[in-house]
Structure 1
């Protein structure tokens, strides 16, 4: 999801919460005709239906509340998990010839596949952060235990060079971390 989509999503959530709070305040102050500030919020028909649905009505309310809470936790977790990673689409303008749009996640996965093309590299994780003209590139690789590391630096440099040629963006900051994979989970 792009940054603009995230802003729209959180704006809609904030407006919905403010509207619910405003309606609750107006109800408690008697702002709606026919609603007494000290009277019950639900009408007689709704209260009667609630009593008839006992205990299933309360159970349904609890389940709905838990689902809403889990949905909120998932949404906040997605936001926090991003860690500033470049999301959405990397756009490269090329003068009057037009522009190229590449999803940032696809670029990261492509670089991961390129890095793991060498049998010595068991896993690779790539994160793009910063602005598209010169994003920061964070790479973490797990190297097979006992593998010879001679030439591995050249393999990584070649993969990064292919990334730069593909995207047209030179990383402003490059951080490569290589760890020896012990083979344990």
Structure 2
């Protein structure tokens, strides 16, 4: 899933939770049309069914809550892990019947880091490849010397990325470049 997809997913989840909370608050404050602020939120039919289902209703609610919590925990774990986990796979480029070329993803990342750091204005470069090798996500962070002129630096980074694309034979599915000013202090 792309970053845009992740943002849409979490935005929808947040909007649903806010809407549910707002609806309960509106009923409690008597602002919901036809709702009694002193009355019960659930109707008498639902309360009667809940009492008839005792003790199984409580057990079913607890199991449902536990399953939802587990699903949320797994989703959150996968979201956080996906952003940090570098691609450890091998990029394979098939050249038809002439064979194939295999390059480890960490070697490609180190090569791009060296290419980016070739400019004396860049103190450090960090590259992380994530996702599937045919269309990896490319995360780049460059630390720029404080007080240096940045004119032409964007062209240097763009040229290095073009060389990476030409060398690796694949276009990144997602490209994120972050530039930070490095003043030399830890």
TM-score bucket of the superposed structures, by smaller chain: 0.5 to 0.7
Question: After TM superposition, where is structure 1 displaced by more than 6 Å over at least 4 residues in a row?
Answer: none
Q: CA deviation at 1:88?
A: 3.2
Q: Structure 1 CA distance, aligned partners of 2:171 and 2:114?
A: 19
The equivalent residue for 1:119 is 120
The equivalent residue for 1:130 is 131
Q: Which TM-score applies when normalising by structure 1?
A: 0.55
Within 5 A, what are the aligned runs for 1:92-103?
Answer: 92-103=93-104
Q: Structure 1 CA distance, aligned partners of 2:137 and 2:83?
A: 14
The equivalent residue for 1:172 is 173
SS at match of 1:154: helix
Q: CA deviation at 1:83?
A: 2.5
The equivalent residue for 1:161 is 162
Residue by residue, what CA displacement relative to the aligned partner does 1:61-115 show, whole Å, maximum 9, x if unpaired? xxxxxxxxxxxxxxxxxxx799221003111112211110001111100000000
The equivalent residue for 2:78 is none
Tell me how large the CA RMSD over aligned residues is: 1.6
Unaligned runs of 5+ in 1: 1-79
1:91 maps onto 2:88 in alignment: no
SS at match of 1:123: strand
Q: For the structure 1 residues 131 and 153, does the alpha-carbon distance in structure 2 shift closer, same or farther, using more than 3 Å as the test? A: same
Q: How many residue pairs were aligned? A: 106
Residue by residue, what CA displacement relative to the aligned partner does 1:99-134 show, whole Å, maximum 9, x if unpaired? 100011111000000000000000000000111111
Q: Structure 1 CA distance, aligned partners of 2:94 and 2:132?
A: 14
